[in-house]
Amino acid sequence: MNVLALLRFRKADILRRAVNLLPILFAAILLVFAENSAIEAYRTFQRIEASNASEAIRAGRDIGDQAKLVEMSRRKLGNRLILGFTADDANDMRAALAGLLATIDNARPAFILPADAALISQIDSIAELAAGLETAFAGVHPDDTTILNALDGDLRRLSEKFRLLQENMSEQGTRYIALQGETLAASYSAMLKLSIAMVGAIASMLALLVLNRRATWQANYRADHDVTTGVLNRRAFERWIEGIHFDPHTSKAVMVFDLDNFKEVNDELGHMAGDHVLKAFVANLVASFGQDALVVRWGGDEFVAVVSTDGLVEAGAVTLLRASFARLQTAVRFGDTDIEVRCSGGAAVWPTDSRDFHEVLQLADLALYKAKSRGKSRLQFYDTDILNERHKVLALRERLRAALRDGELSLHWQPQVDVTRGYVPSAEALIRWTDRETGRMIPPGEFIPAAEASDLIIEIDNFVIEEAVRTAARWATLWQYPPIVAVNVSAAHFQRREFVGQVRDILRRHNLGPDRLELEITEGVILGDNIEVTRNLKGLEALGVHIALDDFGTGYSNIAYLAQLKPDRLKIDQAFIAALSGNPQMESLVSAIIGIGRAIDCEVVAEGVETVEQLDLVQRLGCCLVQGYYFAKPMPDDDFQAWREANYPDAAVSVTHLRRLGDRLARAGEAL
């Protein structure tokens, strides 16, 4: 619907329509505005004789109706004018007004109606009708001409009804008018006029309602809709969910979408392009899933669509949704550029997967998570396996939380050896979890990912940093040349604003120089580039902490960021080293990585060196820092100390230092 056309629909229109309803408008105005003197208005129209309630009841055709009438007049009337009808009239009225309400209800695709707007199946009195209409109108767009047009039509039909009533009135018997708590028998003509007046009253009441609602509605509209895309926002969606009721005969697919490449679009082409993509994506969602789909911007580049799957068998629904999903993967034109729009999706079905709509939403989100982990641009339907995995992760996380509290976590140390100079400049801290119940050592690969999806990773990382710094401080009391401690930091933690402050505090607490600590981060950290990451990198540089880029070569980010990042070390991923022997291509790759390190003036560490061949190879390729089982496996601090004393004691380091000094002097001498 054209919104501008709607907005042009103004008060004048409503009045014009109301004028069309003359002559009943006159009566209507009298009734609406003379409410307090309703009795005078009433008398103006007819001369009726008051009779007492019991007589009225007796005169009626339908006992139930009379009883209701009297009851109503007692309960609700107050100062209001109420008309009572016999059953036949009431049914006719009901049918006509139900038609009107159905029209209002059918206007739903364009606008949201609160769930209770589908109300008024029972219209017991005009007062209730009025209240009902008011409720119905609460959710209807005040500029919706379809409703007012329908209103015109329906009111006309109602007037016609009353005209017919007039002709047949003599056979219809007496009608009742309840006024100010008393039931009065009405004469035929009074009845007619009041009936007409009533129609007018409804008309003008609606007109007023429409006008009054507009302002509130527009304010609500703004609060309920996303500014960029115009679809419902999270707040409105939450409200919609509250109104939903379990019904075994309806089902809805709840789909959660996440744009795969939105960040790149924003970064590379700017926010205008980003907004353009979001709008195009929403248009695409509506086009693919149909006008009836409820589309919500969940936040950022995440959207939700609720699609009715009524009457579809599961396989049919899946096929249909998959086909619609496939249409979401398109290109969008922005200026001269075609932007590829890709998204991942997760879906769950309400009430099949759960009667609780919020839970269904969570299940769809879990499915989305799985879709992304299996590679992007997929649609994943929720199934019980996903939930089982989820439960396992949650259970593991709880055990891990307890393990952290109960001191079951500790650090092992793996030396990094400078093979040309023969000393240990650094050691990497690797976390270990000894499950007290089973005595089993749980490898970090099993529990770190479970922790990473929650805040627990922050606590664990902080524990590791603190433990490592404490160890480094202890080594400083033991040795003259203690190794630097290297600590793995998860991407999630690195994106925290308070990260640098925490590191600084820990160093201070243990009185350790920042140059004694190295933080190992992965390319993933930089991929998740945001203000916080950049700020943290700068903060760490200012603090003087070393940065090592872990698992180098496995990420897919470009090399350009290296110059910005200025790491102190690159760690060649162990997969490359493992594939090295007898593989010339891998050799050139490793050689290239070493070249990159040299180019940006940072040290290169070969990780996962297990054999003497591998050691020879990396050395030949120009890498002199080596970590791996060939030298030592990660070991507890005591063992590490013993290992170092046995293999690379301080004395060796001093020799190394002397040798390096000698080398430098010799080179200086040559230069002279």
Q: Interface residues with ligand C2E (CB under 6 A)?
A: 414, 429-431, 443-445, 448, 461, 464, 488, 490, 550-551, 574, 608-610, 627-629, 634
Q: Find the shortest distance in angstroms from Cβ 488 to Ca ion.
A: 5
Binding partner of 444, given ligand C2E, Ca ion, none, CB within 5-8 angstroms per partner class: ligand C2E
Name the residue among 210, 208, 198 with its Cα closest to residue 31: 198
Distance separating alpha carbons of residues 349 and 334, to the nearest angstrom = 35
* Dist. CA 604–CA 519, nearest whole Å: 15
Q: How far is the CB of 462 from ligand C2E (least distance, A)?
A: 10
Measured from the CB of residue 608, what is the shortest distance to ligand C2E in angstroms?
Answer: 4
Look up residue 430 and give its two tokens: 């690797």
Q: Minimum distance between the CB of residue 607 and Ca ion, rounded to whole angstroms?
A: 5
Choose, by CB under 5 A, the member of 520, 523, 603, 637 that binds Ca ion.
Answer: 520
* CB 521 to ligand C2E: min, Å: 10
246 binds, among Ca ion, ligand C2E, none (CB under 5 to 8 A by kind): none
Which range in 263-271, 328-336, 456-464, 487-495 contacts Ca ion by CB under 5 A? 487-495
CA 439 to each of CA 396, 406, 408, 413, 442: distance values in angstroms, whole numbers, following the listed order = 16, 14, 10, 20, 9
Residue placing its CB nearer to ligand C2E in the complex, 195 or 488: 488
Select 95 or 402, whichever has its Cβ closest to ligand C2E.
402
Q: 33 or 629, CB closer to ligand C2E?
A: 629
**Half-sphere CA count of 557, side-chain side, radius 13 A:** 18
Nearest to 519 by CA among 472, 482, 555, 564: 472
The residue (of 261 and 574) whose beta carbon lies closer to ligand C2E is: 574
By CB under 5 A, the count of residues binding Ca ion is: 4
Rounded Cα–Cα distance for residues 638 and 246 (Å): 62
383-442 residues in contact with Ca ion (CB under 5 A) are none
Residue 380 or 490: the one with the smaller Cβ distance to ligand C2E is: 490
The DSSP-derived string for 566-635 is --SEEEE-HHHHHT-TT-HHHHHHHHHHHHHHHHTT-EEEEE---SHHHHHHHHHTT--EEESTTT---B
330 binds, among Ca ion, ligand C2E, none (CB under 5 to 8 A by kind): none
Q: Which two tokens stand for residue 608?
A: 């996962």
Closest distance of CB 487 from Ca ion, Å: 8
| Residue 26 contacts which entry, Ca ion, ligand C2E, none (Cβ below 5-8 A, type-dependent) | none
Q: Which helix (H) or strand (E) holds 465?
A: helix 456-478
Q: Which stretch binds Ca ion (CB under 5 A): 299-307, 392-400, 484-492, 632-640?
A: 484-492
Q: Is 523 in the site for Ca ion (CB under 5 A)?
A: no
Give, as one character, the DSSP assignment of residue 215.
H
* Site for Ca ion, residues 531 to 550, rule: CB under 5 A: 550
Q: Which residue has the tokens 């086909």?
A: 323
Q: What is the DSSP letter of 415?
A: E
In the complex, least distance from residue 505 CB atom to ligand C2E, rounded to whole angstroms:
19
Q: Which is nearer to Ca ion, 191 or 427 (CB)?
A: 427
Angstrom distance (rounded) from CA 625 to CA 615? 10
Rounded to the nearest whole angstrom, what is the least distance from the CB of residue 571 to Ca ion in the complex? 5
Q: Can you tell me the distance from the alpha carbon of 82 to that of 658, in angstroms, rounded to the nearest whole number?
A: 107
**Alpha-carbon distance 530 to 372, whole Å?**
20
Structure tokens, 159: 């007037």
Of residues 195 and 490, the one with the C-beta less far from Ca ion: 490
Q: Which range touches Ca ion (CB under 5 A), out of 288-296, 324-332, 385-393, 481-489? A: 481-489
Distance of closest approach, residue 603 Cβ to ligand C2E, in angstroms: 16
Task: Please name the residues in contact with 42: beta carbons below 8 A apart, sequence gap of 6 or more.
Answer: 48, 81, 177, 179, 194
Q: Which is nearer to ligand C2E, 97 or 548 (CB)?
A: 548
Nearest of 365, 401, 355 to residue 386 by alpha carbon: 365
- The answer to the question of residue 551 lying near Ca ion (CB under 5 A) is yes
Shortest CB 662 distance to ligand C2E, Å = 32
Task: For ligand C2E, give the closer residue by CB, 346 or 608.
Answer: 608
628 binds, among ligand C2E, Ca ion, none (CB under 5 to 8 A by kind): ligand C2E
CB of 446 to ligand C2E, least distance (A): 9
The DSSP symbol for 140 reads: S
Contacts 24+ apart (CB under 8 A), 273-282: 273/334, 273/337, 273/339, 275/228, 276/332, 276/334, 276/339, 277/332, 277/334, 277/339, 277/341, 278/228, 278/229, 279/228, 279/229, 280/332, 280/341, 281/328, 281/332, 281/341, 281/343, 282/229, 282/230, 282/231
Residue 142 binding: pick among Ca ion, ligand C2E, none (C-beta 5-8 Å cut-off by kind): none
Q: Which does 473 bind (CB under 5 to 8 A by kind): Ca ion, ligand C2E, none?
A: none
- Among residues 488, 536, 614, 656, which is the contact residue for Ca ion, using CB under 5 A? 488
Our CB check for ligand C2E shows the closer of 200 and 634 to be: 634
The answer to whether the beta carbons of residues 618 and 626 sit under 8 Å apart is yes
Whether the Cβ atoms of residue 133 and residue 202 lie closer than 8 Å to each other:
yes
Contact of residue 443 among Ca ion, ligand C2E, none (CB under 5-8 Å per partner type): ligand C2E
523, interface contact from Ca ion, ligand C2E, none, CB < 5-8 Å by kind: none
Residue 608 contact, options Ca ion, ligand C2E, none, Cβ 5-8 Å cut-off depending on partner type: ligand C2E
Here's the x/- map for Ca ion, 437-476, by CB under 5 A: it reads as ----------------------------------------
Return the number of the residue (416 or 488) whose C-beta is nearest Ca ion: 488
C-beta closer to ligand C2E: residue 423 or 433:
433
- Is residue 111 a contact partner of residue 230, using CB atoms and an 8 Å limit? no
- DSSP letters, 17-69, are HHHHTTTHHHHHHHHHHTGGGHHHHHHHH-------HHHHHHH-S-HHHHHHH
Whose Cβ is closer to Ca ion: residue 224's or residue 520's? Answer: 520
Q: Name the pairing type of β-strands 569-572 and 546-552.
A: parallel
Choose from ligand C2E, Ca ion, none: what does 464 bind? Cβ within 5-8 Å by kind: ligand C2E
| Smallest distance, ligand C2E to C-beta of residue 525, A | 11
Nearest to 306 by CA among 260, 235, 367, 241: 241
The answer to whether residues 471 and 479 touch, using CB atoms and an 8 Å cutoff, is no
Q: What are phi and psi of 264, to 5 degrees?
A: -65, -40
Nearest residue to 196 (alpha-carbon basis) of 158, 237, 252: 158
Q: Which is nearer to ligand C2E, 457 or 565 (CB)?
A: 457
Binding residues for Ca ion, per CB under 5 A? 488, 520, 550-551
